[in-house]
């Protein structure tokens, strides 16, 4: 019996004229993500995409990958059988055996989009319902609140038979919303921020600041593992790792300690802004949330924003830490984030950070530094890594 994956588009359905290009991007994303699991053929029909294996494919891994692709409202694995009542009655109990053995009640929902099929929907439902009751005699029918809804769809080429659909990842297909640069640390928050913006259709470039020898090779590898996990949702990520040691040492030598973190954050933003523009990104993304630490009071955020030319998106801005953690567990970045490799922020944390800085204080403190040459040197001191899921 042939098994396929049926995918229902998400918000795309609302997009009117753009719908077809949205669907094409979704299919392109699916193709790229399913490539490791075999060869598949993709067919569009109404707001459904059929993913049809050609030869032998790893269907478990393929449907797990589908569950993480944005732009999908729901999906299901489905049997594709001959458009013949005898075949439907024979294959349905076999295909749905496990799920029906674990249910108490069911109903059949038949849809006939091929009107030439000689049985009408109610006839298909009652024939198949009868057959399933005979075969699984612990089952009873409940049309209002069944444990399982068995759906039969009579389409152009095949009859599809499946149980309930599974909720998809939602959002919009990555690539429909342009590109933005995610400032990624090794912490809990920034990977979640990247996931959230990718969900809205934005492709990601990532910028990471490393300060060797104060930060270790493992800290950089940790960022790679975090991004590989985010890439299961966002697709490919272009990572730019920036050498940040010199800037941090200059700050430490020449600026007042309570302002260390904020001056450092302003340098990160300036450099990320430059690199983002060069990579055609239209915005920056950070994992900041109001009040979480001293550098994230609204005053401090105002001072970091003052040095950027691109808009800064902070999708976690109003979330509590426990809410952020629950997303990071869901997308399986949490266990990687809590590995204890220090990043450049923790290494240079001041003992008494300023929580109510003014722009003037920071600008005055920064006159001790050669800001432009430091930035010029940093944007040249970069390493590129291409990250795939
Ligand atoms: P996270 O868990 O994302 O590290 P955090 O609560 O530890 O966040 P900070 O360390 O103040 O907060 O960093 C705030 C934001 O600045 C991060 O979410 C991230 O977007 C960015 N950032 C911090 N450190 C780095 C770094 N080494 N490289 C790139 N971006 C960074
Ligand atoms: Mg951090």
| CA-nearest residue, atom 8 of ligand 1 | 189
Find all residues with CB under 8 Å of 24, minimum gap 6, and list them. Answer: none
Å from CA of 21 to ligand 1 middle: 35
* Distance of CA 371 from the midpoint of ligand 2 (Å): 23
State whether the beta carbon of 245 lies less than 6 angstroms from ligand 1: no
Helices (H), 136-278: 189-199, 217-234, 245-254, 260-278
165-197: pLDDT as tens digits? 999 999 999 999 999 999 999 999 999 999 999
Interatomic CA distance for residues 2 and 54, integer angstroms: 10
Neighbouring residues of the ion ligand 2, judged by CB less than 5 Å: 185, 187, 345
| Average pLDDT across the chain, whole number | 94
Buried b (16+ CB within 10 A) or exposed e, 315-351: bbbebeeeebbebbeebebbebbeeeebbbbeebebe
With residue 237 as reference, give the H or E element that holds it: strand 237-243
Q: Residues 122, 158: contact at Cβ < 8 Å?
A: no
Atom of ligand 1 lying closest to residue 261 CA: 11
The 10s digit of each residue's pLDDT in 24-69 is 999 999 999 999 999 999 998 877 899 999 999 999 999 999 999 9
Ligand 1, atom 26, lies closest to the CA of 185
Task: Determine whether the shortest distance from the Cβ of 183 to ligand 1 is under 6 A.
Answer: yes
Query: CA-based angle 298:304:308, to the nearest 5?
Result: 130
- Percent of residues, the chain, with pLDDT higher than 70: 97
- pLDDT (0 to 100) of residue 269: 98
pLDDT above 90 (res 10): no
Candidate from 193, 214, 271, 287 with most ligand 1 atoms within 8 A of CB, to mutate: 287
pLDDT in tens, 60-109: 999 999 999 999 999 999 999 999 999 999 999 999 999 999 999 999 99
Atom number in ligand 1 closest to CA 210: 27
**pLDDT in the model for residue 349:** 79
Q: Ligand 2 mean position to 26 CA, how many Å? A: 33
User: What is the atom index within ligand 1 of the atom nearest the CA of 287?
Assistant: 18
220 lines ligand 1 (CB under 6 A): no
Q: Give the Å distances, CA to CA, from 313 to 268, 285, 287, 298, 309.
A: 15, 5, 9, 14, 13
Is 208 touching ligand 1 by the criterion CB < 6 Å? Answer: yes
Using the atom order of ligand 1, give the atom closest to the CA of residue 215: 27
Per-residue pLDDT of 125-148, as tens digits, reads 999 999 999 999 999 999 999 999
Q: How many residues does the chain have?
A: 389
**240 Cβ below 6 A of ligand 1:** no
User: What's the pTM?
Assistant: 0.92
Q: Which residues contact 106 (CB under 8 A, 6 or more apart)?
A: 100, 132, 139, 141, 142, 146, 147, 148, 149, 150
Ramachandran angles phi, psi of 357, nearest 5°: -75, 160
CB 172 within 8 A of CB 200: yes
132 lines ligand 1 (CB under 6 A): no
Counting ligands in written order, the one closest to the CA of 241 is: 1
Q: State if residue 343 touches ligand 1 by the CB under 6 angstroms criterion.
A: yes
Q: What is the pLDDT of residues 201-243, one digit of tens each?
A: 999 999 999 999 989 999 999 999 999 999 999 999 999 999 9
Q: For residues 301 and 293, which has the higher predicted lDDT (pLDDT)?
A: 301
């Amino acid at each position: 019996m042939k098994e396929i994956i049926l995918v229902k588009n998400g918000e795309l359905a609302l997009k009117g004229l753009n719908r077809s290009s949205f669907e094409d991007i979704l299919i392109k994303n699916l193709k790229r993500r399913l490539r490791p699991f075999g060869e598949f053929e993709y067919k569009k029909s109404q707001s459904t995409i059929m993913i049809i294996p050609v030869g032998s494919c790893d269907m478990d891994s393929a449907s797990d990958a589908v569950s993480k692709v944005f732009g999908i409202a729901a999906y299901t694995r489905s049997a594709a059988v001959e458009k013949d009542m005898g075949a439907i009655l024979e294959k349905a109990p076999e295909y749905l055996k496990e799920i029906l053995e674990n249910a108490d009640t069911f109903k059949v929902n038949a849809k006939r989009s091929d009107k030439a099929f000689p049985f009408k929907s109610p006839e298909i439902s009652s024939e198949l319902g009868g057959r399933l009751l005979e075969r699984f005699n612990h089952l009873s029918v409940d049309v209002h609140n069944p444990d399982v809804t068995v759906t039969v769809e009579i389409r152009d080429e095949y009859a599809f038979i499946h149980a309930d659909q599974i909720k998809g990842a939602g959002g919009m297909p990555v690539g429909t919303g342009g590109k933005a640069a995610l400032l990624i640390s090794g912490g809990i928050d920034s990977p979640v921020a990247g996931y959230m913006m990718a969900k809205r259709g934005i492709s990601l470039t990532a910028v990471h600041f490393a300060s060797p020898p104060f930060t270790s090779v493992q800290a950089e590898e940790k960022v790679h593992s975090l991004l590989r996990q985010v890439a299961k949702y966002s697709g490919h990520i272009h990572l730019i790792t920036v050498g940040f040691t010199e800037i941090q040492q200059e700050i430490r030598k020449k600026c007042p300690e309570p302002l260390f973190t904020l001056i450092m954050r302003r340098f990160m933003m300036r450099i990320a802004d430059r690199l983002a523009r060069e990579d055609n990104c239209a915005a920056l993304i950070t994992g900041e949330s109001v009040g979480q630490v001293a550098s994230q009071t609204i005053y401090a955020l105002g001072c970091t924003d003052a040095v950027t030319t691109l808009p800064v998106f902070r999708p976690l801005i109003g979330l509590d830490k426990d809410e952020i953690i629950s997303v990071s567990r869901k997308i399986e970045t949490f266990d990687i984030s809590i590995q204890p490799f220090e990043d450049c922020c923790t290494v240079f944390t001041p003992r008494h950070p300023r929580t109510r800085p003014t722009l003037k204080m920071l600008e005055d403190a920064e006159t001790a530094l050669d800001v432009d040459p430091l930035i010029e040197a940093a944007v040249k001191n970069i390493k590129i890594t291409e990250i795939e899921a």
